[in-house]
Every structure is written in C-alpha cells, then in structure tokens.
Structure 1
Amino acid sequence: MSSRIHHLSCATLCPAAGRVPGLMPSRLVAHCLLVEGPGGLTLVDTGFGTADVADPAGRLGRTFALATGARLSTADTAIAQVRALGFDPREVGDIVLTHLDADHAGGISDFPWARVHVHRDELATARGRRGRLGRTRYSARQWQHGPQWVEHAADGDDWFGFESVRAVGDDVLLVPLRGHTVGHCGVAVRRPSGGWFLHAGDSYFFRGEKQTPPSSPPGIRVFQAIMEMDHAARLANQDRLRELHAGSGDEVTIFCAHDEIEFDAAAAHIDGRTVR
C-alpha cells in the first residue's frame, strides 16, 4: 500500500476562451500524482516536461501552445517538483498515464529509466497517428527517447463495476474510460487511510460533470466534443462516473485532470492533513 500520495500540478493552461465570463474556466491545471510505495515512486501523468518548456514550438506545436494558453515553467515540471519534495528523481520507477496527449505525457522524457504504463490501444493510436485527431493531438517528439513502454489491456478484473488492470502492484490500477481518446484510462490509487482515489484524466473537465444532473460551462462542452474520439463511449463513461460518485460514499474520491477547484481541494486536505 502507498505510504503517501502527493498532488502536483505540472502545467498551467489559460485558454483564450477563459477570458469570456462564463464560457470556460480562465485557468486549468494538470493534476498529477506522486505515489510513495514500497518499491519506490510512481507518477500518475506528468504534465509538460523540461524539453517542452525549452522548445514549446517544436515539442507541442504553435497551434497547441496558443490554443491552450500554456504557461510553461521549469518549476512546474514533475521532475522539478519531485526534487523539491526531497526525492531523487531516479526513485521514480513507474509512470502511469491516463493517455498520451501532450499535456499529460510531456514529462516522461525527464525519466528515461522509468517504466511507462499505458493502454495498448492508446499507444497504437499515438504511434500510428490514426485519424484526424490522431495526426494532430499526439507529439511523437515527447517519446523519441524510446521509453520503456509497458502496454496494458483490461483483463476483466472488477473495480467498483469497472474493468481494470494492475499497473503497479495491487495499489495502482488502470481503469479503461474510452472516449476522449481510444485508449483513455482513469488511474485508481489506493489511499493510505483506505479507499481509493480515481484520477479520471480527461473523462470530464469540470467538477459539475460528475454531479447528477451534470453541469459545465459551454466552452468546456464544445472543447470536449471537438477532442473526443468516441462520442458514445465518452458520454457512457461519464454516466458511469456519476453513478460511482453518487454511490461510492467515502470509498472513492474522483477528480479529473484539469479542474483547479478539485485540485486545490485534493492538494490541501486529504485524510485531514496537508499532503503538498
């Protein structure tokens, strides 16, 4: 079981649409986790990496950087935050990715020795750059260093009614949540005090979407529709997440990758203590 879980924001995004009141949030985060376990450290997502900060046009593309309003800072990178917490980055032995979009996987090149866990459909789509979105959303330069990929597919294990697959021991699981991308997953992490966190990645973008009935700013809804690879699956998995949120009580705490309010709540007080 993990001994401590740190909540890190490894990117700041300020989309232009956020300057229009009510259209969408003015600031988005990149919620990542650093999990202390008996075998070392595990990162869940990485945000942007140091090479993205050094060469945003080459690594991310000018269109992506401008559209997202990325505010790039070396201090925000996962490797800088690992060091700031007093750890040797080489203690990070595993990285578990919700998916391979540039704002989730850019930091993997800062940990070239780590095993990088990803759903096999996600890796195949990113490598093949399949379809319109596949050709534009993935940045192959972020993994040109040749990561130690560990490909996963759901093996039928049940986690609160969802298929799941062990990624790192029994305490970090990939939970397929197809829709935003073909191989998009949530990552379930067992909490030290019992129960689970579910990092839902980009399954949703706004805290109101996990409520019943759901709500979100119109700009968020438009963005999700533009970026989705499987419309029906995305909506079906949002429905399932709402059911889990309503029915899991204190057993499962769900958060997405980009909601600043969710991040601040998780980072400030988990199990009655400050974790960041």
Structure 2
Amino acid sequence: MRVHHLDCGPMRPFGGSLLDGGPGGPARAAALCCHVLLVESPDGLVLVDTGMSRGDLANPPGTLGRQFRMVARPLANPAHAAVEQIRGLGLDPAEVAHVLLTHMDLDHAGGLPDFPKATVHVLGDEFRAATARRTVAEKARYVPAQWAHQPAWRLHEPTGGDTWFGFDAVAPAAGLPDGFALVPLVGHTRGHAGIAVESDGGWLLHAGDAYFHHGALEPEPSVPPLLRVFEARMQTLGEQRRHNQARLRELVAAHGDEVTVFSAHDQTELDRLRAH
C-alpha cells in the first residue's frame, strides 16, 4: 500500500532547544508537526489520525481553543488540512472511507469533520474516556465539537488474541484490507494506540503521542528537557507510558530493519520519512 506522510498542523511553540533539541535558545520557536498518514489501500483511502481541520486552520481559534493556540502556536493556513492536501495529490477526499485514530486529543481528531462519511476506528477505552470526560485534564484535551457530526464509530476492544511483533494488537475489520492493526500503547491517554500499516516499503508504526522525540527510542534515551516535562504533564497513566516507551525501544532494537516507528509531532522523523 502506498503511504503519504502529511503534516496536518505545523506548530511553532516557543521553547527552542528545550523542545526540539536543535541549536539556539528557548526564545527560538521550535518546529513541531502533526504527522498524519494517507494510505492508498486496495479498497480506498485511509487516514491515520487527522491533524487539525480546515475550519480550525482557517478560522482561529475554532475548536482548538485559545489556550492551545497560545501554547502550541499552530500555523493558521487551511492548506495544511488533510482534506486540502489530499486534493493537492490529485485524490478525492470523499474517497476517505476509514480513519484510524491513535487517540482523540484535539490535535489528532480535529480533522474528523472534514471526512463526515468515514468510519472512525479507535480503541474502546479511548472513546469512552473522550466522551465521558470525567477529569479536568480530559475536559481540556477532548473536544466533543470535533465529532458533533456523529461519525460512524467502530470501537475495537483488545482481547489478547491478536499480536503484532509481540505486542497485543487488534486487527480492524469493517471493510479495511489486511495490513492494518491497532496496537495498544496506553499511558498518554487511557486508550492510546499505535497504528501499524504494512506499506510498500515494510511495516510502519505510527506511535502517536506514546513519545514526543526521536531520542526517546535510542538505547540510551535522550529527550530535550521541556519535552520530558511536557510528556509527564500530559500523561494519564505514567507507569504504563514509561513501560510502553521501553517496549518501543526493544522493538526498534530487535526489528528496526522490518518496522519504522515514528511519533506524531517529531519534525525530524517526518523529514526523514519524506526523504525516502
């Protein structure tokens, strides 16, 4: 399956080297992305995450809210929305039949309104957390307006029966071809998942927000200090998050020639994948 790597919500928060590890001081804006996959499957187009919607990028603050705008500083340009990038590739956004979400944070599910006819796949625990919004943190991170159009949901419950490179996995049915799997990677949220895609060049694992910086997967992890603080602040289940990061490091060490792992907001990873 052919896969396109899109940035559907470039962000420029202040923090410089404290956020992305690059040169310069904290006053410099860091370059963060919203890494979205567009998959040309035998049965139509599939999105992995959506990034931000066209409406949110055209009319700030939109559903993203003023606080998110002030902190993340997304670039207000509707051309970055997945729906516009799909058109730019000469494809029809109406042919996006399925969306697989790593989780339902506002910068991952924000583009759902642009694909109202798509079936949306997510782990059941994530859907229940996002719709119940029981804690103060969950009220902030989940925005019901992003799914007010009442999409067709397909909830997936891990049963322990399926595995993917040693990880528990859920192979989504509902019209999707082989070559996709939801891989529970809880911690950042209660129902966070990685999305595995078997591309023309081998397996890809979109790890969402299971980690934020490529240095987290090195044998001796090295993550910019502000991102370490941000990861801890945004986590829901800290012990599980750290455990799953360790498992991802083991996956890369043992199967790095078969699986390419990347996160949602690391610009370096996105640039590397686009260069191949």
TM-score, shorter chain, exceeding 0.5:
yes
**SS of equivalent residue, structure 1 residue 12:** coil
2:43 alignment partner in structure 1: 39
Letter of the 2:163 counterpart: D
> How many angstroms apart in 2 are the aligned matches of 1:251 and 1:25?
34
1:268 aligns with 2:275: yes
Letter of the 1:263 counterpart: L
2:13 alignment partner in structure 1: 15
> Is the contact between residue 22 and residue 217 of structure 1 (CA under 8 Å) also seen in structure 2?
no
1:164 alignment partner in structure 2: 169
Q: Which runs of 5+ in 2 are unaligned?
A: 19-23
For residues 114-171 of structure 1, give each alpha carbon's deviation from its aligned partner in whole angstroms, at most 9, with x where no partner exists: 0011111111111111212111111111111111111111132011110111123321
2:21 alignment partner in structure 1: none
1:212 aligns with 2:222: no
User: Structure 1 residues 217, 226: closer, same or farther in 2, change over 3 A?
Assistant: same
> Is the contact between residue 180 and residue 234 of structure 1 (CA under 8 Å) also seen in structure 2?
yes
Q: Which moved more, 1:174-183 or 1:135-144?
A: 135-144
1:49 alignment partner in structure 2: 53
> Is the contact between residue 123 and residue 155 of structure 2 (CA under 8 Å) also seen in structure 1?
yes
TM-score (norm: length of structure 2)? 0.93
2:192 alignment partner in structure 1: 184
1:245 alignment partner in structure 2: 252
1:227 aligns with 2:231: no
> How many angstroms apart in 2 are the aligned matches of 1:55 and 1:130?
29
Shift of 1:57: 2.7
Letter of the 2:114 counterpart: D
Shift of 1:22: 6.0
2:104 alignment partner in structure 1: 100
User: Structure 1 residues 239, 50: closer, same or farther in 2, change over 3 A?
Assistant: same
Q: Which runs of 5+ in 1 are unaligned?
A: 270-276
1:175 aligns with 2:183: yes
Give the counterpart of 2:113 among 109, 114, 130: 109
Letter of the 1:185 counterpart: A
1:77 alignment partner in structure 2: 81
> How many angstroms apart in 2 are the aligned matches of 1:164 and 1:158?
5
> How many angstroms apart in 2 are the aligned matches of 1:72 and 1:201?
22
> How many angstroms apart in 2 are the aligned matches of 1:169 and 1:240?
27
> How many angstroms apart in 2 are the aligned matches of 1:215 and 1:25?
20
Letter of the 1:247 counterpart: A
1:272 alignment partner in structure 2: none
Letter of the 1:244 counterpart: L
Q: Indicate the percent of aligned positions where both proteins have the same amino acid.
A: 49
> Is the contact between residue 93 and residue 115 of structure 2 (CA under 8 Å) also seen in structure 1?
yes
Shift of 1:25: 7.3
> Is the contact between residue 191 and residue 197 of structure 1 (CA under 8 Å) also seen in structure 2?
yes
Give the counterpart of 2:3 among 2, 5, 21: 5
> Is the contact between residue 163 and residue 175 of structure 1 (CA under 8 Å) also seen in structure 2?
yes
> How many angstroms apart in 1 are the aligned matches of 2:220 and 2:240?
18
Letter of the 2:166 counterpart: G
**SS of equivalent residue, structure 1 residue 11:** coil
Letter of the 1:96 counterpart: L
Give the counterpart of 1:89 among 89, 93, 102: 93
For residues 49-90 of structure 1, give each alpha carbon's deviation from its aligned partner in whole angstroms, at most 9, with x where no partner exists: 012124433411100111111112111000000000011111
